[in-house]
Amino acid sequence: MGELLLITDDLRRGDRLARDLGTFRACRVHDLYEAAVPSVLPELIVGDVSALTSDAVLRMQRILKAVRGRGVPFLFLTHGNAARAEAQARVLGASGTLAAGAMTQALLAALEGLHRHEDPSAPAAVRHAGAARRFLADVFVPGRPVTPAAIDTGTGLIARAVAETGVRDWVLAVRRFDDATHQHCLLVAGLAASFAAQLGFAAADRHRLAKAALLHDVGKIHVPAEILNKPGRLTEAETAVMRQHPAHGHAMLAGRGFEAEMLAVVRSHHELLDGSGYPDGLKGAEIPDLVRLVTVCDIYAALTERRSYKPPMAVTKALGILDDMVGRLDGDLVQAFHPVARAIAA
Q: Give DSSP secondary structure letters for 82-100.
A: HHHHHHHHHHTT-SEEEET
Regarding whether 140 and 107 lie in a shared domain, the answer is no
Residues facing residue 7 across a β-bridge: 30, 47
| Strand 4-8, strand 27-31: pairing | parallel
Half-sphere exposure of 238 (CA within 13 A, CB side): 12
Regarding whether 316 and 338 lie in a shared domain, the answer is yes
Regarding whether 262 and 148 lie in a shared domain, the answer is yes
Q: Which residue, of 115, 133, 167, is where some domain finishes?
A: 115
Q: In the chain, what percentage of residues exceed pLDDT 70?
A: 93
Integer angstrom CA distances of residue 187 from 15, 55, 63, 192: 33, 38, 36, 8
Maximum Cα interatomic distance, the chain, rounded to a whole number of Å = 71
Q: Summarize the confidence of residues 136-145 as an average pLDDT.
A: 88
pLDDT tens digits for 74-110? 989 988 776 677 778 888 988 888 878 776 766 777 7
Regarding whether 166 and 93 lie in a shared domain, the answer is no
pLDDT tens digits for 198-234? 999 999 999 999 999 999 999 999 999 888 878 788 8
Regarding whether 147 and 81 lie in a shared domain, the answer is no
The residue type found at 39 is S
CA–CA separation, 74 and 160 (whole Å):
26
Sequence-ordered strand ranges (E) for 9-161: 27-31, 44-48, 74-78, 96-99
Confidence band for 319, pLDDT divided at 50, 70 and 90: very high
CATH of the domain at 42: 3.40.50.2300
Confidence band for 279, pLDDT divided at 50, 70 and 90: very high
Confidence band for 5, pLDDT divided at 50, 70 and 90: very high
Q: Is the pLDDT of residue 127 over 80?
A: no
Specify the DSSP element, H or E, that contains 8. strand 4-8
Regarding whether 227 and 305 lie in a shared domain, the answer is yes
Confidence band for 72, pLDDT divided at 50, 70 and 90: confident
- Please state the domain count of the chain: 2
- The helix/strand/coil state of 301 is helix
Regarding whether 134 and 49 lie in a shared domain, the answer is no
Work out the mean pLDDT of the chain and round it to a whole number.
88
Q: Which residue, of 115, 139, 157, is where some domain finishes?
A: 115
* Contact predicate 43/1, CB 8 Å: yes
Confidence band for 120, pLDDT divided at 50, 70 and 90: very low
Confidence band for 121, pLDDT divided at 50, 70 and 90: very low
DSSP summary character for residue 218: G
Regarding whether 141 and 22 lie in a shared domain, the answer is no
Q: Summarize the confidence of residues 324-345 as an average pLDDT.
A: 94
Give the residue among 66, 80, 77, 86 at the shortest CA–CA distance from 14. 77
Q: Summarize the confidence of residues 105-131 as an average pLDDT.
A: 68
Give the residue among 128, 195, 139, 191 at the shortest CA–CA distance from 164. 128
* Contact predicate 201/209, CB 8 Å: yes
* Contacts of 225 by beta carbon, 8 Å cutoff, 6+ apart: none
Q: Which residue, of 80, 115, 150, is where some domain finishes?
A: 115
Residue 294's pLDDT is what? Answer: 98
Regarding whether 209 and 333 lie in a shared domain, the answer is yes
Q: Is the pLDDT of residue 248 over 90?
A: yes
Regarding whether 128 and 98 lie in a shared domain, the answer is no
| Cis check: omega of the bond before 231, within 30 degrees of 0 | no
* Contact predicate 209/195, CB 8 Å: yes
Regarding whether 104 and 242 lie in a shared domain, the answer is no
CA–CA separation, 54 and 221 (whole Å):
40
Axis crossing angle, helix 148-165 with helix 180-198, rounded to the nearest 10: 70
Q: Summarize the confidence of residues 160-173 as an average pLDDT.
A: 85
The residue type found at 302 is A
CATH of the domain at 302: 1.10.3210.10
Regarding whether 166 and 66 lie in a shared domain, the answer is no
Q: Summarize the confidence of residues 135-145 as an average pLDDT.
A: 88
Confidence band for 114, pLDDT divided at 50, 70 and 90: confident
Confidence band for 119, pLDDT divided at 50, 70 and 90: very low
Confidence band for 179, pLDDT divided at 50, 70 and 90: confident
Residue 102 belongs to domain spanning: 4-115
